[in-house]
A and B are shown apart, each in its own frame.
Chain A
Amino acid sequence: MSDEKQQVSRRQFLNYTLTGVGGFMAAGLLISPIRMAVDPVLKDSSAGDLANVGLAVEDITSEPQRIDWSVNQVDGWYESEVNRSAWVYRNDDDEIVAFSPICKHLGCVVSWEGSEQHPNEYFCPCHDGRYYKDGTNVPGTPPLAPLDEYEQEVRDGMLFLGDARPRGEA
């Protein structure tokens, strides 16, 4: 047996062949199941339409008010009405602002003046997270980002809201 000629031994060749064939079969077997399993990651999420939240623009004051409405949600094979909430007010520049009540710390629900000790702020009861009236998180409290803001539009004097987006993106 000269080493120069036999770079690949008979045993190695068999090993490579069997591993190759086995790998090919395993891949053929697993490729469809894996593609199916990762499908939710690869599907592009459809942006929701704006929904009428049942609030006339003239009723929006400089004091944040909580509004609740429901949207149609398609979740795979299951369709349902789900509830949404927002805190809506008019800021100093007379613009309508609609905040998502979901705390940017760990996702609890915040309330305007939810704590008597913190007037004029949004308050999250879970870990005492706080936000100023303009949605900015109070430094030193758990949240690390300002409240998300809903996409909005005014049609025929009524407020329409869409998806909540992190601020800066909205």
Chain B
Amino acid sequence: MLQKIYDWIDDRIDITPIWRDIADHEVPEHVNPAHHFSAFVYCFGGLTFFVVVIQILSGMFLTMYYVPDIENAWQSVYYLQTEVAHGQIVRGMHHWGASVVIVMLLLHTLRVFFQGAYKKPRELNWVVGVLIFFVMLGLGFTGYLLPWDNKAYFATQVGLEIAEQVPFIGMQLKTLLAGDATIVGAQTLTRFFAIHVFFLPAALFALLAVHFILIRRQGISGPL
């Protein structure tokens, strides 16, 4: 049945070459943990992406309950945690995944660094990777405020003051982030929410696309 549906579509729009282009590629022996167990270090990039997928999925579901409003944000998170079946688990996935994604990302960076895989011709992909790292940190920073509890509030207070230390444009940068020159409040929360669920994910998807296209175009770096 599935085969028939696939054939019907493939017959008309020839999709086989598309997914073959994506899925069919050789995995060199030196990156295959089945040949050399130490090759597991090559998994960190893929694991980072896997955790990112978890973050996207759990985040999408969390927005079914969460409200980015200072009156209701904490209440809605509390309700999700205590009254909704599996709500605790889904928020746990997003909460712990946020840390795991940074850990995986750092391990991936260390592997690329110590293997010298960033060297010519792959310098551009290193740069894209560093941009992804910054976007991830931004996601972590903006997401931290959303539960609107004491920890979130004061952490954001500190983060905004760090932004204020930027020479010349510090004040403006802080106001741009917080939505107000002095208050960390209603406008800050909506801004951080918008940045967390729309702006940074959009940037992340674009950068990930470039990252993956480049790795396919240039191939994995050779053995040490």
Name A residues whose Cβ lies closer than 8 Å to a Cβ of B: 29-30, 32-33, 35-37, 39, 42, 76-78
Contacts and interface: CB of A to CB of B under 8 A. Distances in A.
B54 interface: yes
Contact of A76 (B60, B79, B89): B79
B85 A33 contact: no
Nearest to B76: A77
- B interface: dominant SS: helix
Nearest to A35: B86
A35, A42, A76, A77, most chain B CB atoms within 10 A: A77
Across the A-B interface, the 5 shortest Cβ-Cβ residue pairs: A77-B79, A77-B75, A33-B61, A32-B89, A35-B86
A42 B85 contact: yes
Nearest to B58: A33
Q: DSSP class of A's interface residues: helix, strand, loop or mixed? A: helix
Contacts of A33: 57-58, 60-61, 86, 90, 93
Nearest to A36: B86
A21 to B, nearest CB: 13
B84 A39 contact: yes
A77 B65 CA distance: 9
A30 B53 CA distance: 11
A106 B65 CA distance: 28
Given A37-B64, A39-B84, A30 B75 contact: no
Nearest to A30: B57
B153 interface: no
Contacts of A78: 72, 75
Nearest to A42: B85
